[in-house]
A and B are shown apart, each in its own frame.
Chain A
């Protein structure tokens, strides 16, 4: 028996000192059986829709992390960068995120044609991925949040 369950039984025992451990266990099982749907509702398990959103958001975050790594590595060749971006594009496409995959197709074309610098292309990609992440957020972000954090750091920088 886990420590958690032992603790629950000891709490109930304080309220019902005459009840045996077997009776308490039976009472717990009966309670859970008859209230299962209510308990599940109160735990607030994520819906399938929420899980899909969370999974997409994680996918975009992983892609942004890969892009960040590319931004920090100036020694990466154009071929290596295109390979990374193509992998992200294919991943989006495989998951049915056609519009997002198309954006990457355009970014890859920009880099291959050298119409903008690698650094600029990565900034546009970072920005697009940030918007994809933002799109998946359920609540409206507090605009002042980031500025407040910067101000706090700015004050620390004075010390």
Chain B
């Protein structure tokens, strides 16, 4: 059985919005092949196979959950970015901050990533500040990891985050990913 990665892509409006029904109608037209149902606070769109779930809150949060083969993850994130921006454009022309979490089933060499001088056995999760606007967190469970990015800007370009993500998978070290002028802060959550 092929294990799938899980991606949560969440766009949060910087100012709360009241989503009205005409906006949902536009989103329904865009997601025409999706099943639609509402819950108390959310409008939910699910594809037939339940691999893609898109939820829009009445306050303008757009949350997409995707289940995808590990090999297709990078490509999928780029597509999710485009799709999410399109859905957000139906709701508001204001800024959204973005949170992307990837449950990665492929092997990641954390020791290689953070440097051999830190004993990773002490860590269950670590926080990094990889640029002034982008925070990254990596948590682990057995051989699996969740890599989360939080971009406080409405990132116009997903390629920087994708680049960091790809380099982690390729076994690069943290210091290779980070521009020299940016401080790297690592905080740790102990078991």
Contact = CB atoms under 8 A, between A and B. Distances in A.
Interface of A: 61, 64, 68-69, 71-73, 115-117, 119-120, 123-124, 126-127, 130-131, 133-135, 141, 143, 145-147, 149-151, 153-154, 156-158
12 contacts: A68-B65, A71-B8, A72-B41, A73-B41, A117-B125, A119-B101, A120-B146, A123-B146, A124-B141, A143-B2, A146-B49, A146-B72
Nearest to A131: B3
Interface residues of B, number: 47
Contact of B6 (A126, A133, A141): A126
B125 A146 contact: no
Given A72-B41, A146-B49, A124 B144 contact: yes
B65 A126 contact: yes
Nearest to B51: A146
A156 B139 CA distance: 35
B82 interface: yes
Interface stretch (B13-21, B73-81, B156-164): B73-81
Contacts of A73: 41
Nearest to B84: A157
A143 B51 CA distance: 11
B55 interface: yes
B63 A154 contact: no
B52 A150 contact: yes
Given A149-B51, A150-B80, A150-B83, A130 B67 contact: yes
Contacts, number: 105
Given A61-B50, A124-B144, A147 B76 contact: yes
Main SS class of interface, A = helix
Given A123-B101, A156-B30, A147 B1 contact: no
Nearest to A68: B53
A127 B103 contact: yes
B25 interface: no
A127 B139 CA distance: 15
A6 B101 CA distance: 60
Nearest to B29: A156
B69 A143 contact: yes
Contacts of B86: 156-157
B67 A145 contact: no
Which one of A69, A135, A150 has the highest number of Cβ atoms from chain B below 10 Å of its Cβ? A150
Contact of A151 (B1, B6, B79): B79
B191 A115 contact: yes
